[in-house]
Amino acid sequence: MSPTPDYAGQLRAAALRATRPRVAVMGAVHALPHADTESIYTAVRLELPDVSRQAVYDVLHALTAAQLVRRIQPAGFVARYESRVGDNHHHVVCRSCGTIADVDCSVGEAPCLTASDDNGFDVDEAEVIYWGLCPTCSSSPPPLDP
């Protein structure tokens, strides 16, 4: 059995107060990989029924700024949040159902891609999104056109 994560300690280490909404949002992000804000809000409300939607948005913003969670937003999708931070991994997205999965860097150190021309920038992160069909959608027959 794994020990319960110390979300309060992580918050304090990032110079944030360990409030109940912050701890609950961190728990929801860890429990629901690549969840959208509404899913996180719904999960937090199970623990804190009086929490407002705005409070969850504010906490997600603070956690993202403190780099305790990562916000991703593939084109055409709402923002999603994940607890895997600091390793410069990438994502694969199903064009059909929207499933998102992590993809580790294929080679090298972060950033695992080197720009052909960095235009003088000190690049510290690269983001790649692979698009395709997940195993479930790729094995399903295509929908019939009416």
Spell out the domains of the chain, with CATH numbers in brackets.
Answer: 7-72 (1.10.10.10), 87-136 (3.30.1490.190)
Model confidence at 30: pLDDT above 60? yes
Higher-confidence residue of 123 and 144: namely 123
Higher-confidence residue of 104 and 105: namely 104
Q: What percent of the chain has pLDDT over 70?
A: 87
In this structure, of 3-12, 38-47, 100-109, 116-125, the range with the lowest mean pLDDT score is 100-109
Confidence of residue 2 (pLDDT cuts 50, 70, 90): very low
Instruction: Read off the pTM.
Output: 0.81
- Which among 47, 60, 39, 57 is positioned nearest to 20, based on CA atoms? 47
Q: 19: Cβ–Cβ under 8 A, 6 or more apart, which residues?
A: none
* Per-residue model confidence as pLDDT tens digits over 131-141: 999 999 988 66
Q: Write the single-letter amino acid at 43.
A: A
Q: 67: Cβ–Cβ under 8 A, 6 or more apart, which residues?
A: 14, 85, 86
Instruction: Please tell me the chain's helix, strand, coil percentages from 3-state DSSP, rounded to the nearest 5.
Output: 30, 15, 55
* Per-residue model confidence as pLDDT tens digits over 48-102: 999 999 999 999 999 999 999 999 999 889 999 999 998 878 899 999 898 999 9
Rounded to an integer, the average pLDDT of 113-120 is 79
Q: 137: Cβ–Cβ under 8 A, 6 or more apart, which residues?
A: 94, 95, 96, 97, 99
Contact between 24 and 51 under an 8 Å Cβ cutoff? The reply is yes
